[in-house]
Amino acid sequence: MRVRVHVRDDVIVVECGEGNQRIKWLALVALQRYGTEAGERLSQKHVATGVAAADGSALLANQIIARVVRDGDDVFVRVQEDDKLALGASVTQMPLGTSPFLVSQGASAVRCMFTGRGVGHAVVHETMHVFVIARDTYGSLTRNGGDLFVVRTEGPAPAATSIRDLGDGSYHASVTFAAVGTYSAFVELEGLNIEGSPFQTIVTRQPEIIRLKWNQPTLSGAPPRPIACAASVAIGRRVLVIGGTMGDERPSNAIRILHTDRMKWSDATAADGPSPPPSFGAACALIGTRLFIYGGESGAGLEPSSAPLDGLWAFEMATTEWQQLRPSGLKPGARSFAAAAAVGNTLFLFGGWTGVTVTASLHTLGTGTSLPQWEPARISAASTAVRARLGHSMVAVGEKLFVYGGRAANVGAPDSAPDSAPDSVSDSIFADVCVFDTALHGGGVWSVVKTSGEVPRERWLHACTLLCETLVVFGGYDSAGESNAFALLDTNSMRWTLWESTAARAGGSLQLVDGRALVIGGVENGVVRDDVLQASFGGFQLEFDGDKDEVMVPHPPSLVPSAYTLEAWVRPLHSIGGMNLICRSNEAYPQATWSHQLRMNERGKLQHATLLASGERVVLESNTSIKLGAWTHVAGTATSNGSIALFINGYDDDVRAVPIGPLLGGLDRLFIGARTGDQMGAFHGVVTELRVWNFARTADAIREDMRRHLTGSEQGLVGYWKLNEGPAGTVFDSTVAGNHGPLMGNPIWNAASSPMVSEEADTIERARGRRR
């Protein structure tokens, strides 16, 4: 391609080939030829300070020519000497012979990256926030800005996208999804995908929480260790946990990784070199692939001390190297139990214990430069005063910082340092929400916002994270001790929703991975725990491939020797013959022994098959065929020395119940989707809301509950597998029995489309089990 380059009154035609060079190359070549053709020696006055298109719009130095200029177009080069004469010394602070336009290192698509909480999972109609970190060809951070990043999606429905240059080498991208489903999200520079793009995002409905039950998944790998007040961050399907206290022993600086797809612990070994001292109560934030950690406590126990730490460290995950940073500027000083968050390349540090008192100072650190500098945050005079505190949380929602909770302490230390348990009447614990808007010109603005809904009580040393635009808060100390409260705050409406959960923790690490809340360690009943708690927000569904995918629950309820009800929602996708939906078996496995079975035959008819103690097998068959691709509720009931029945969508389908004798006992396994005898193949489709009862339910009872999420505590419900957890290796039983089942094969998790009622409509069930 050819481009007509205007230099003063001359027009120079530059051959650009395919146009893969950058705009500043075009300016350099044109000015070199201009100096030669004018008979002048190339000198400082022939230095480009910018290039404009024919319509007067500025072209960026590092844009690819072919992407912004067409063959035969005219462009105009500004020359440094002309700018100097026209504008005087204010045009540039750089010496003659060079210019910011020429020395700027533009972003390289293959080197840039994005970061954000939970980019693999989003909630419909809420905005997912992602920060793009610009890097040049050499992998170095670039602060020039002006790069034309584009965000777009492909999926079930168009998504609203935007991107804003933050001016520090980072860009704030936001995506709002209009429908549930699986999307591919692209972040592009000059039409090229940046590193990690496209990434897949599963968009689900609002969290499906009726009663929040914490489960304890089976963990493998390195043995667990008691830990509390550790630094932690989720990256993809890994959770990194650094440092923390083990209670009466001195703290740790070990790096542990929880691989959530396998629920396996591993110990990470940092590269040779310096590493931070063992600590707990440090503030941490992730920017790109670097985890920044500041301050903390180095002593034994859980209490703040008179000598907190003041060091700043960065852990580079790509190289596993620690680097101690010594920024210039006005440093925050010693801090423990402070909070940190990142907006683009800027690290914010707020509050904490200084060793003498608590503070309300807010500091910033620009990390997009080789010479970072601490600065007190610029705060507008229009701000509301925010109370000093420690043990609070701070989370960035886009370009706003949300601070929640925390605790104050008397001025004067060390003897007035807060105790680990909040029993001092001279201290106060907060329940307020403070917001710092970083995007406003002339300094950010603090505000203390009014919230509504089920407002949780005060707390400190709680755990907090983000789901799109919803704060997720768990545990902590309130005035009564360790709390089991689990709360969500919609940061748009500022409305709280609150649940009581089945565990109480303070100082635990909370991360969200693919719609699952994971709590690592923490203090319960005064003891530092070594376990992992998991709770599901729901919104997913599990698709079986019709080959090797199945779930085997090894110890299903045995309290059904005389009667049972099996029920579930199913959506078959393909059938080449009979398929097993659900059955019970024993150590012989279902291809040898199978009973209590719901299945589809080769004609798509629902069958309920059960094996009697006499060895006789009784099979009922529906009159209606189950449609491929459609949701159908299926159920079967049986009573020893009573009858066997089946139901489709809560009705008996004109199939009469059949009298039977005693049921077969000793069935200690439950299989979902597995091959069985009678030439029943593996299930190809989706199963959700699987329930086992220890009595035969009526058609009316089945219809009443089949479209409602249950709590798991209903009378007679002895097994309840929602199968909505999201990507993980286990499905969880929501009843007190806790009979969890591992996934076999590689079933696919995607956004749920089952015909259950919305959480908003299910007000009666949502009101159960709340704690204020």
Q: How many CA atoms lie within 13 A of 544 on its CB side?
A: 31
Q: Which residue has the tokens 């699952």?
A: 516
What is the reported pLDDT for 97? 64
CB 632 within 8 A of CB 648: yes
Q: 77 vs 6, 46, 53, 179, CA distance in Å?
A: 6, 10, 9, 47
Dihedral sign for Cα atoms in the order 502, 702, 719, 180 = negative
Q: Which CATH class is domain 113-204?
A: mainly beta
What is the reported pLDDT for 46? 72
How far apart (Å, rounded) are the C-alpha atoms in residues 152 and 162?
A: 9
What is the reported pLDDT for 146? 72
How far apart (Å, rounded) are the C-alpha atoms in residues 424 and 444?
A: 34
Give the distance between the most distant pair of CA atoms in the chain.
Answer: 110
Architecture of domain 2-103: Roll (3.10)
Best CATH choice for the domain 220-536 from the list 3.90.1150.10, 2.120.10.80, 3.90.1300.10, 2.70.170.10:
2.120.10.80
How far apart (Å, rounded) are the C-alpha atoms in residues 350 and 341?
A: 9
Of 166, 193, 195, nearest to 345 (Cα)?
Answer: 166
Strands 238-244 and 231-235: antiparallel
Tokens found for residue 434: 């403070």
- The H or E element spanning position 241 is strand 238-244
How far apart (Å, rounded) are the C-alpha atoms in residues 700 and 124?
A: 33
pTM of the model: 0.86
| DSSP label of 91 | G
Per domain, the residue ranges of the chain are 2-103, 113-204, 220-536, 540-751
Q: 474 - beta bridge partners? A: 463, 486
| DSSP label of 225 | -
Phi, psi values for residue 439, rounded to 5°: -90, -5
Q: What is the pLDDT of residues 86-141, one digit of tens each?
A: 544 444 444 556 777 777 777 888 889 888 876 889 999 999 999 999 988 777 77
Q: 104 vs 23, 101, 141, 142, 242, CA distance in Å?
A: 12, 6, 12, 8, 37
Neighbours of 402 (CB within 10 A): 21
Tokens found for residue 192: 């090229």
Overall residue count recorded for the chain in this entry: 772
Q: Which CATH class is domain 540-751?
A: mainly beta
Neighbours of 272 (CB within 10 A): 8
Q: What is the pLDDT of residues 465-519, one digit of tens each?
A: 999 999 999 999 998 889 999 999 999 999 999 988 889 999 999 999 988 999 9
Q: 354 vs 304, 333, 390, 393, 528, CA distance in Å?
A: 9, 7, 9, 17, 25
What is the reported pLDDT for 764? 28
Give the residue ranges of the chain where pLDDT is below 70: 37-45, 82-97, 118, 143-145, 410-427, 441-442, 556-559, 757-772
